[in-house]
Every structure is written in C-alpha cells, then in structure tokens.
Amino acid sequence: MRKLKLHPCGKFNEQYGEELTIFSTDFGRLWMWVGLFLLFVVLPFICKPYHLYVINHIGIAAIAAVGLNILIGYTGQISLGHGAFFGVGAYAAAILATAVGFPFWLSVISAGVITAFVGVLFGIPSVRLKHLYLTIATLAGQFILQYIFVQWESLTKGPMGIMLPRATLFGIDVKGDRNFYYVIFVCFVILTWVAVNLIRTRFGRAFIAIRDNDRAAEGMGIPIFKYKLISFAISSFYAGFAGGLAAYYIGSITPEPYTLMLSVEYIAMIIIGGLGSIPGAVFGAIFITLLNEILSQSTQFFMNIEGLAKIALTIAPLREFVFGLAIVLFIIFEPKGLAEVWRIIRSGFRLWPFSY
Amino acid sequence: MEFFLQLSIQGLSVGFLYALAALGFVMIFKSSSVLNFAHGELLAIGAFIFLAFSVWLKLPIYLSFLFTLVGAFILGFVIERLFLRPLIGEALIEVIMLTVGLAAMFKGLLLVIFGGNLFSYPDFLPAGLTIRWGAINIPPVYVASFIIGIIFLSIFGFFFKYSSQGIYMRSVADNQPAALSLGVHVRRVFAMSWAIAALVCAISGIILGIMNGINVHDISVLGLKVFPVVILGGLESIGGAIIGGLIIGVLETFTGGYVSTSLKEVIPYIVLVFILLVKPYGLFGLVEIERV
C-alpha cells in the first residue's frame, strides 16, 4: 500500500501527474466518503419533508449549475439562455413521457440529449463571434425559446401546461420526497463525477485553453469552434437533464418559470459559487436556493401577521434586488466566489497554528 | 393601402422609440466597450426621477428637467465609482456579469420604491407641435422627440469626432492598455462616459415616459430590445442605432399587422440571430477582422 498523504504543509509534487489528482491529500478523499455517507444515509432520515423538498431543489439546481460552469467558468462563453434550456429539458421530458410514453429514466436522459442539440443550435453563432456577441445571441435564444413554449400549443399545450405521469424506476414507484431525493442525488453524484473528470481530460484542457486565450489555443492546434460547440452541448445536456428531473419532481409544467430571471439566477449561482470550480457551482446552488426559500418564507411570514402584509408585498421585488446585490458584491469583493472562501478556511485549518 | 400607411407610421414611431433607447447604450459601448445589460433600468431611473420631481414635488417642468439631468449625471458618476472602477482591467466577462447584476438590483429597487404600476406625466408639450398632413396625424411627442433626437445626434457626433474628451473615450474603448500608456486618464474617461451615458439615458427615459407612460417592467423589456437594434445598426454607430431602431420598429409593427400579434414580440430576436450569423458587425459597425 502506498503511503497516505494526510497533512502536507505545502505542495511537494514529484511528478506532473500529481498536479492533476482530484484530491491533493488523502484527507480530502476521506472527507468525500464521509460526505457521501452523510448525504445518502444520514441526511434523508433526519430531515423533515419540507427540508427534503428544499434539498431536492438544491440538488436539481446544482446539476444545472455544474453544467453552466463548464460553459462559463471553464470555456469562458457566457450564456444568458440557460433558463430557457432548463425549460427545454422540462418540456422535452414532459412531452416524451405523455405523448410518446417513454419511461422515466429514458425521458429524462433524452431530455438532456434534446437540450444538448438545442444548445448547439444557439452555440453556432460562436463560429464567428466572440463572447460579447455570443452573449447577445444566447439572450435572443432565451426569448425565442420562451416564445415557442407559449405559442407552439399543439406540442407544449401553451399556458395550460402539461401534467406528468408518476415517475417509476425499475418497477418502483418514485413518489414522495425521500425516494426522489435518492434519484436526484445519485444523478447529481454521477454527473458531478463526470464533470470533475471531464475537466482533466483533453476536452477540459481544451476548454480552459480557449477561455484563457482563444488565439493561442487556435495556434496550438485546438479546433476552437468544435470545442466551443462541445462545451455548449455538454452544458445544455446538464441543464436539460436537470430540467427533466425538475419536471418530474414538480409533477406539472407551465411556461412561466423559464424566463430570463431564471437564467440570471443560474449565472448568479456560478458567480457566487466561483467561476471555474465544480464545488463552487454546488455552493452557489445551495446559496441561491436557500436565499430564494428564505425570501419566500419571510414573505409568507409577514403576510400572516396583521398589519404587516404591506411589508410582505415589498419583499417580493426585494428578491430581485438581493440577487443583483449578491452578484455585484461577489464580483467586486470575491471574484472567485465561495469556493475561494472555502479554500481559505480549509487552508487556515491545515496550516494552523501558523496560518497568517 | 391605408392600413399599410397607418402601419408604417406606427412602425416608424415605435422605431424612433427604440432608436432613442439605443442612443445611451451605444454611448456606453463606444466609450468603454461595456455591454450594458442594465440599460433598461437606467432609462427607467431617469424617467422616475423626472416623475418624482415633476409630479410629486410639483416643480415646474424646466426645473425638474434640469434637476433630472443633474441627478442622472451624478448617478452615472456614482455607478462608475462604486461598481465599475474596481473592475478596470478585469476580464470582460466579469464586467458583463456585473451589469447583469446591476440590472436585477436596480429593477428590484425601483419596484420596491415605486411599485409596478403605470404612471404618467402631466401633459406639458404645446399642442402647436402637432403635424397634420392629410389623414396622417403626428402627435407633438414625436415631433419633440424627433427634434431632440436630431440635436443629440449632431452634438454627440461632433463630440466623438472633434473634442479631445471624445477622442480619449474612443481610444479607451479601442485599447485600454494602449490608451493608458499614452497618458490618457482612463479612470476619468470612464467616469465621464458613464455620467454622460446616464444623462442620455435619462433624456430618452423621459421621452419614453411621455410616449408610453412609465412602468418598470415595460421599460426594462425595452432595454433588452435595444440589443437587436444596436446589433443591426452596428454596435459603435450612433447613426446605425437610429436606422436599426427604425427598421426593427417597422418590422415589428408589420409582423404584428400582417402575420400575428404574438410573433411581434420575438421577431426582433429572430432577426438578431440571423444578423449575427450573416453579418455580425451590423450595417454600420466597425469590422474587426480577427479570425479565431
């Protein structure tokens, strides 16, 4: 057995391969197992149904945010259309399940694939355009898709929405928050594992090269356009997959939630979490979902108190303000996001008592 | 034929509105190459400051107009100082994200303060400005805004072309490090350009408010419609913004009249995607040949 690395007080890499390891110490690997144990064995049994409901939403948001981070954080292509891509996934899953009769697992995966195609379609302008123009192209994509959700009534049932059938997996009826919790978080762990490893492959390195300097990347023989489209496809796949899961979890879908505001929410997640960091996307998803939940809870709280209902009405738009403020403050004061804060805290522990 | 004529007039007036909204956007882009996603909110802020002065404080129109301009100018400085100065020299992606954040922030703030209702200004334009020409009747608002638009176009055209401040702005937008090394005071140029842009936005916002009434949601939607307009016209071109605005306005109205009313809202974005694929630098934009 090799020697365990637990608490090195610096970086003592001897081979280039060590730079690429996921866990720099065996301590991190240990913590991952503890975390998975907490996630799958402890957490679902100590939480109340309402908390499980919130955690499930965090899980779905985290899948989409990890995907968006591959596009924005690693490839450097800003997309303002991910709210709509999420919606494409939700609609694809719903239509496949109701009209075609696909089973749960197949319709969620196909939702991801269909969304990947849609994402590539709106990524095509990146042939000639750099991020500034591309951002505008994805903004247009957001509006066009939103229009299709409402207007293509023969397919999407328009503003009426679609009711989804019960999700069943391997003959088991996935009902209730706890069963769905397992479905969501197994998917989450698999997809995060894929994302973490993707970044270490040829693809991931090409993405990072394009982000850091596209001209140099082209010069080194990376076909930029191909890799940009691959990045779009992967990222949209994640969004669509999350959208499909969300559609099944909520049970019915309407066009309302998939607006530009949702796109901004996802961007807020990865900025607050940390651009170009997979744990960051997860932190961001947790932060934004909790923020959302706290604000809507406080609205309800004030609504129920006599005489304070007026305050409740002002809290609703305050939600947008708080989002904006969070994005702005993080960009100015901690551009690397919560992931950086987390790293500082960790290294503080590691270097204690000589941290400075 | 009459329907056609009516639609054309209507389309041109809507287009003029878009052109006006696009002016401030092009100003900011031209002078600091920041893609401002908070543009609609800046327009709305201008319109609401004017509302606060003219309706709530009941100041005379000229005074409240003046105060609004001063207020917007200061606001531009403050925005630049608080939010954009820390990002000088940072990657463009962060600046764009910052304006997305600012947009959400301003919109929330406006909704908290003013609510989502529709407001309107008192009627103060002289009725003598109306132009009657056969069956065509152009209300005074359009005449006034047309005159204001022409004045602005020429002022800013000359400003960018001949004044040293305008040349500094163009140099900063073109290449920040190069401008810095040639002794351009980049921070001052940034502050100035945001202040002037906020001022232009306030004026456009007021005119939009007179034409359509003031509503936070409507104006922020309008702020996003600016994108098809400026992409069509070319991001750096003020003249292009006006022509782009007119084309988009007419196109939108004709789609609404002849094809379907629901398609009207997205047709600018469909056009936008098409232009980006075919002629990404627009009709009058600066063509940067950089093959990557």
Q: How many CB pairs under 8 A join A and B?
A: 136
Does the pLDDT of residue A159 top 80, yes or no?
no
List, in order, residues 6 or more apart from B195 with CB less than 8 Å away. Answer: B73, B74, B76, B77, B80
What per-residue confidence (pLDDT) applies to A313?
Answer: 67
Query: pLDDT tens digits, residue range B31-70?
Result: 777 788 888 888 889 888 888 888 888 778 788 888 888 9
What per-residue confidence (pLDDT) applies to B128?
Answer: 64
Select the highest-mean-pLDDT range: A288-297, A305-314, B31-40, B121-130. Answer: A288-297
ipTM of this complex prediction, to 2 decimal places: 0.81
Burial environment of residue A47 by CB neighbours within 10 A (0 to 12, 13 to 18, 19 or more): middle
Tokens of A334: 């901690």
Number of Cα atoms under 13 Å in the Cβ half of residue B12: 11
What per-residue confidence (pLDDT) applies to A238?
Answer: 93
Q: Is residue B14 part of a domain?
A: no
Contact B276 A137 (CB under 8 A): yes
Q: Is residue B217 part of a domain?
A: yes
Query: pLDDT tens digits, residue range B20-29?
Result: 778 778 877 8
Q: Is residue B52 part of a domain?
A: yes
Q: Is residue B137 part of a domain?
A: yes
What is d(CA A146, CA A248) in angstroms, rounded to the nearest whole number? 20
Distance in Å, alpha carbon of A46 to nearest chain B alpha carbon: 37
Q: Which of A342, A333, A231 is nearest to A282 (CA)?
A: A342
Q: What are phi and psi of B115, to 5 degrees?
A: 80, 170
Does the pLDDT of residue A61 top 80, yes or no?
yes
Q: Which residues of chain B form beta strands (DSSP E)? A: 131-133, 136-138
Number of Cα atoms under 13 Å in the Cβ half of residue A204: 15
What per-residue confidence (pLDDT) applies to A2?
Answer: 66
Query: Contact, A78 vs B100, CB < 8 A?
Result: no
Average pLDDT, chain A: 83
What is d(CA B41, CA B110) in angstroms, rounded to the nearest whole number? 8
State the pLDDT confidence band at A239, using cuts at 50, 70 and 90: very high
Q: Is residue B45 part of a domain?
A: yes
Query: pLDDT tens digits, residue range B29-41?
Result: 877 777 888 888 8
More confident residue, A333 or A126: A333
Q: Is residue B162 part of a domain?
A: yes
What is d(CA A297, CA A312) in angstroms, rounded to the nearest whole number? 10
Scanning B13-72 for CB atoms below 8 A from A yields 35
What per-residue confidence (pLDDT) applies to A3?
Answer: 67
Query: Contact, A94 vs A251, CB < 8 A?
Result: no
Mean pLDDT confidence for A221-230: 89
| Total domains in the fold of chain B | 1
B219-257 burial code (b ≥16 CB/10 A, e <16): bbebbbbbbbbbbbbbbbbbebbbbbbbbbbbbbbbbbb
What is d(CA A329, CA B3) in angstroms, rounded to the nearest whole number? 52
More confident residue, A55 or B140: A55
What is d(CA A83, CA A103) in angstroms, rounded to the nearest whole number? 25
> From the centroid of its chain, how far is CA B221?
12
Mean pLDDT confidence for A71-85: 87
What per-residue confidence (pLDDT) applies to A241?
Answer: 92
Mean pLDDT confidence for A165-174: 70
Name the closest residue on chain A to residue B269, using Cα atoms.
Answer: A140
Distance in Å, alpha carbon of B62 to nearest chain A alpha carbon: 32
State the pLDDT confidence band at B291, using cuts at 50, 70 and 90: very low
Does the pLDDT of residue B290 top 60, yes or no?
no
Sorted by where each starts, the structural domains of chain A and their CATH numbers stand as 48-158+172-351 (1.10.3470)
Q: Per 3-state DSSP, what percentage of chain B is helix, strand, and coil (rounded to 5)?
A: 75, 5, 20
Among residues of chain A, what percentage have pLDDT more than 70? 90
Name the closest residue on chain B to residue A224, using Cα atoms.
Answer: B292
Q: What are phi and psi of B2, to 5 degrees?
A: -65, -35
Total Cβ atoms within 10 A of residue B159 = 16
Question: Which value, to the nearest 10 degrees, does the dihedral of the CA atoms of residues B211, B212, B213, B214 take?
Answer: -110
Q: Which of A128, A271, A318 sits opposite B112 (nearest CB)?
A: A318
The residue range of the domain holding B180 is 19-121+131-223
Contact A317 B105 (CB under 8 A): no
Chain A partners within 8 Å of B290 (Cβ): 130, 215
What per-residue confidence (pLDDT) applies to A117?
Answer: 92
State the pLDDT confidence band at B85, using cuts at 50, 70 and 90: confident
